[in-house]
Structure 1
Amino acid sequence: MESPTPGTVIAERYRLTQPLGSGSSAVVWEAHDSSLDRPVAVKLLHGGAATHPAGREQLRREALALARLSHPRVTTVFDYVEWPQPDGSFQPVLVTELLTGLNLEERLAQGPLMENDARVACQQLATALEAAHKAGIIHRDLKPGNVMLLSDGVKLLDFGIAQASSDTDATTGVVIGTPSCMAPEQLTGRGALPASDVYALGCVLYWCIAGHAPFQGVTVDQVVRGHLHLPPPPLPAYGLPPQILGLYRQCMAKNPADRPTAATVAGVLELRSAAATVGAPASGAAPAGERPPANRTMVMQAYDPPPPTYKAEQEQQLPYMARRMRIPSQSDESDGYPAQPVFDAPAPRRYSWLVLVMVALLVAVIAAAGTAIFMSGRDAEKKATSSPPPGITGSPAPNTPASLPTTPPSVPGTTAVSPPAAGGPPTADPSADPIGYLEGMRRQIDGFIAQGPDTIEPNTGRDLQNSLADVEQSVQAGQPDFKGHKLRDVQNKVDDLLSRIGDDEDQKKIGHTAAHTLSDELQQVGDAIDSHG
């Protein structure tokens, strides 16, 4: 088979100029189209793929897949020709637009993207996947190495192993793809679905923000075990809203039926502010090093399926705020594929008139009891604070509140925290006085504890108060201007405390109303701190 060199003319039209890059089975050349006088990219097979029928079929299928798509975030195919060879065989040739930019994998080898840039890039990739899925095409190999960063955004490349939604893998027990971004159903030989591309997009989102793949290992087997058995690692993002953090976890769900559609992902990631683009960095950047095996497209044997505990593991790992904004999963199927979850408004609740009457009576009884308790407390307070009768003098009894120390004795190496008095909701402004607001929350917890274990268990309440005191210290250390690690320290502690409140609620250590009240107030603190950052 003829080996192409600079100056080689293909199909009496495409003159090869210089090679741009090569993979295990193909090489991409820059070429000049003499018919239309424009630069193009020419993809040719090389090595064993050039003489193997399967390699030729793969390039032909890529041409067919790209020809069915017309989207600004997908590489445009110009031509497909079969170049005759002196031995009577032919060489398939794919001609596409010539892209000038930087490969995303090469860019991430230099460090992670800014969170906003990562969101823009993945939103654009989601729109490309949406178009492919509507055309009945599954990419099957979405990864940073198949994404090009351009001056106006990103483009999805290499549909070489793409397949139609109605196709099945040709060889039983063999899978093809890139282990670092492969969904569990692909790795176990159950075939690819549109949801498999969404899983890969979740991997790419993590990769863009963390600078590395979500599951890493020295061997491919270690990476695969992570995809099959481990919960997805937390997204190291401090400036993204909770719904995007929750969306990432849903994209990484082990069960494809629990993942959102590409259209849903695009909608959630879409920027509502001024348009932004993800461009290549300045020239002179260091080239990427040798890729680990798990980051390369490969053909391998299918792995044993994981134990069927996807949903329980995912529920256990989801943070509280992500659970509150969870996309409802759907188990019914359509056209042979699991129906994809969507963001729907909760159905309105309907109550009978009898229930409403009972609730009204209960509220009236509680209000009357609360008033009685309050008045009796006021009478007791007056008696405790009034002057003693004439002729009676002396100091307060040892166990009365007046004789108790106002602060507990300090222990070397620890910080003494005054027990807050019981009270209602915090009245301070979390933006102007976050410390005062947090102190009000601690007092509010005392009020919850007084209502009994159905509202909150005493030990749980004290633990939450200690955690709030820890947040106060971090806020005080970061004032007046929250920047850098001080801002991240406060954000991390707020997120951890939100997750703990959710776990306590799941374990029945805190009631639903108290948990949601504290979570909403704590979220206001986090938003206020973010606004100062």
Structure 2
Amino acid sequence: MDSPAPGTVIAERYRLTRPLGSGSSAVVWEAHDSSLDRPVAVKLLHGGAAAHPAGREQLRREALALARLSHPRVTTVFDYVEWPQPDGSFRPVLVTELLTGLNLEERLAQGPLMENDARVACQQLATALEAAHKAGIVHRDLKPGNVMLLADGVKLLDFGIAQASSDTDATTGVVIGTPSCMAPEQLTGRGAVPASDVYALGCVLYWCVAGRAPFEGATVDEVVRGHLHLPPPPLPAYGLPPQILGLYRQCLAKNPADRPTAATVAAVLDLRGAPATVGGVGGAGRPPANRTMVMQAYDPPPPTYKEEQEQQLPYMARRMRIPSQDNEPGGYPAQPVFDTPAPRRYSWVVLVFGALLVAVIAAAGTAIVMGGKDAEKKATSAPPPGITGSPAPNTAATLPATPPSVPDTPASGSRPAAGSSPTGDPNADPLGYLEAMRGQIDGFLAQGRDTIDSNTARDLQNSLTDLEKSTQQAQAAQFKGRKLRDLQSKVDDVTSKISEAQDEGKIGDAAAEALTTELQTFAVSVGHG
């Protein structure tokens, strides 16, 4: 089939003006609808896709999927026609609204979005997925290249490979989608479900904040191995609240049953904030894994590298689940909850003694200050970021919009916050306190390897996850008996890890002291709860 030229009229109504973009199977034209006197977008198949029945059926399915949706964040379909060709065949034509804006993938090629922009954009995409899933449609190819940035927000495009949620491609041995954002069940040929779109949305959230896909590699196989075997990389976000960081990890759970629904994602991301203002120009060549592909399903082989076997599999061996939302005060858990491995027994008497010693030293320091001693004699550098210090009077605690850093000279103002806690009292909100420690570790990680090694940070984050599960169990037992002893053993375990990492030079002295102090405060508080 020949390519049409500008000025070609389709169905005696749509006059083609200029091509807007072209992919492997279709080209999109700007056109003028003479019947309603308005600009429209016309999608035409070209090449082998136009001649092959499967290609024509794909465009028809896209038209049907869009026609079933009526949502401000989904492209509106106007018409679907079958354009007769001189050889007696027909060419399917999809007519949609004309969108004026920037493709998200092109924007991210220039760098990551501001965190609030990323949150708003992904919240709007979540509402689009929610509407699609309610209509029984699975998109299957959510990625930055299928998102348009408009003056009033984003719109989800290209339902060309969408399918009904009751359909399955699990028996064909062939999968279709974009490897950079494909869920493990899609890659292994088990078929796409609504939770597969949620996984892709988690990838898009990371992409928006980090400026790159969560799993990268020189080949598609390397990208796929990351999705199948590696834990999600930490979200490099310094201005997002803890519940969104936990939500991101749950979206990228390997098991689709462990992921939240699109409606839940939209609700968690729907925080008050300034409207997104995303912009930028340009574009870049896309790695193969960032393109929509048809490929054979992957068998999930064991990891290739010894490091992955030693460091990643223990993490992935734990099963993630979402607790009942009915029992959560905020309607959604701030963190994933993992099954607890057998606790290691340590005596926590030493830990309590250490905490009391720290309290005595702190009281002595306070007495010196009240006695009028020179403050400069007591500090040679700014204290490391922490979560137990009381905020200044009448000052609201805020999350920083940029990565925190350690000043070179003594600081006389308020200290930087690597993470913000919902409360400074672990006895009142122990889970919130641990969540704030996660943000604190993220802040140390942003300061570089001199502050904390990335593998050490990841190991401590995983240990805090275990602490959260033990804390929930101890809470149910009113912080008494064996559950409390198990919790104290876990705190002792994490404290020992920090000490070992400090001895090996994997965490700086200031960061190790800050984290140890927070853990001691936590242990003493829950022990007297």
Same fold (TM > 0.5): yes
Structure-2 residue corresponding to 1:492: 443
| 8 Å contact from structure 1 (residues 253, 314) kept in 2 | no
Residues 49-198 of structure 1 aligned to structure 2 (within 5 Å)? 49-169=49-169, 172-198=172-198
Structure-2 residue corresponding to 1:297: 292
Label 1:169 to 1:489 Cα distance change in 2 as closer, same or farther (>3 A). Answer: closer
Q: 1:84-120, CA deviations, whole angstroms, 9 ceiling, x for partnerless residues?
A: 0011100000000000000000000000000110000
Structure-2 residue corresponding to 1:344: 326
Structure 2 gaps, min length 5: 330-353, 367-378, 390-403, 421-438, 447-456, 471-484, 495-513, 522-529
Matches of 1:440 and 1:424, distance apart in 2? 16
Task: Report the residue type matching 1:493 in the other structure.
Answer: F
| Greater alpha carbon shift after TM alignment, 494-503 vs 115-124 | 494-503
Matches of 2:71 and 2:134, distance apart in 1? 12
Q: Post-superposition shift, 1:472? A: 13
Q: 1:387-409, CA deviations, whole angstroms, 9 ceiling, x for partnerless residues?
A: xxxxxxxxxxxxxxxxxxxxxxx
Structure-1 residue corresponding to 2:244: 244
Label 1:2 to 1:268 Cα distance change in 2 as closer, same or farther (>3 A). Answer: same
| 8 Å contact from structure 2 (residues 385, 415) kept in 1 | no
Residues 93-492 of structure 1 aligned to structure 2 (within 5 Å)? 93-169=93-169, 172-273=172-273, 275-281=274-280, 285=281, 287-305=282-300, 316=315, 328-329=321-322, 343-346=325-328, 421=357, 423=359, 477=410, 480=413, 492=443
Matches of 1:252 and 1:280, distance apart in 2? 27
Matches of 1:439 and 1:95, distance apart in 2? 55
Task: Report the residue type matching 2:83 in the other structure.
Answer: W
Task: Report the residue type matching 1:277 in the other structure.
Answer: A
Label 1:195 to 1:7 Cα distance change in 2 as closer, same or farther (>3 A). Answer: same
Label 1:473 to 1:117 Cα distance change in 2 as closer, same or farther (>3 A). Answer: closer
Matches of 2:261 and 2:286, distance apart in 1? 30
Task: Report the residue type matching 2:202 in the other structure.
Answer: G
Matches of 2:73 and 2:158, distance apart in 1? 12
Label 1:86 to 1:225 Cα distance change in 2 as closer, same or farther (>3 A). Answer: same
Task: Report the residue type matching 2:275 in the other structure.
Answer: A
Q: Post-superposition shift, 1:172? A: 1.1
| 8 Å contact from structure 1 (residues 502, 515) kept in 2 | no
Structure 1 gaps, min length 5: 330-340, 348-417, 442-470, 526-533
Q: Post-superposition shift, 1:521? A: 8.6
Q: Post-superposition shift, 1:502? A: 2.5
For normalisation by structure 2, the TM-score amounts to 0.66
| 8 Å contact from structure 1 (residues 477, 486) kept in 2 | no
Matches of 1:64 and 1:24, distance apart in 2? 21
| 8 Å contact from structure 2 (residues 229, 313) kept in 1 | no
Q: 1:24-68, CA deviations, whole angstroms, 9 ceiling, x for partnerless residues?
A: 000000000000000000000001000000000000000000000
For normalisation by structure 1, the TM-score amounts to 0.66
Matches of 2:119 and 2:74, distance apart in 1? 18
Q: Secondary structure at the match of 2:325?
A: coil
Task: Report the residue type matching 1:67 in the other structure.
Answer: A
Matches of 1:2 and 1:83, distance apart in 2? 13
Q: Secondary structure at the match of 1:94?
A: strand
Q: Post-superposition shift, 1:423? A: 3.3
Q: Post-superposition shift, 1:238? A: 1.2
Matches of 2:466 and 2:234, distance apart in 1? 20
Task: Report the residue type matching 1:251 in the other structure.
Answer: C
Matches of 1:91 and 1:438, distance apart in 2? 64
Answer with 1 or 2: which has the greater Rg.
1
Label 1:99 to 1:439 Cα distance change in 2 as closer, same or farther (>3 A). Answer: closer
| 8 Å contact from structure 2 (residues 186, 196) kept in 1 | yes
How many residue pairs get matched? 400
Matches of 2:246 and 2:262, distance apart in 1? 15
Task: Report the residue type matching 1:300 in the other structure.
Answer: M
Q: Post-superposition shift, 1:239? A: 1.3
Matches of 1:133 and 1:419, distance apart in 2? 51
Matches of 1:237 and 1:217, distance apart in 2? 22
Structure-1 residue corresponding to 2:341: none
Q: Secondary structure at the match of 2:327?
A: coil
Label 1:481 to 1:217 Cα distance change in 2 as closer, same or farther (>3 A). Answer: same
Q: Secondary structure at the match of 2:155?
A: strand
RMSD: 4.4
Label 1:438 to 1:178 Cα distance change in 2 as closer, same or farther (>3 A). Answer: closer
Structure-2 residue corresponding to 1:394: none
Q: Secondary structure at the match of 1:423?
A: helix
Q: 1:322-368, CA deviations, whole angstroms, 9 ceiling, x for partnerless residues?
A: x9xx9943xxxxxxxxxxx7633259xxxxxxxxxxxxxxxxxxxxx
Q: Secondary structure at the match of 2:122?
A: helix
| Greater alpha carbon shift after TM alignment, 287-296 vs 193-202 | 287-296
| 8 Å contact from structure 1 (residues 150, 280) kept in 2 | no
Task: Report the residue type matching 2:444 in the other structure.
Answer: K
Q: Post-superposition shift, 1:166? A: 1.0
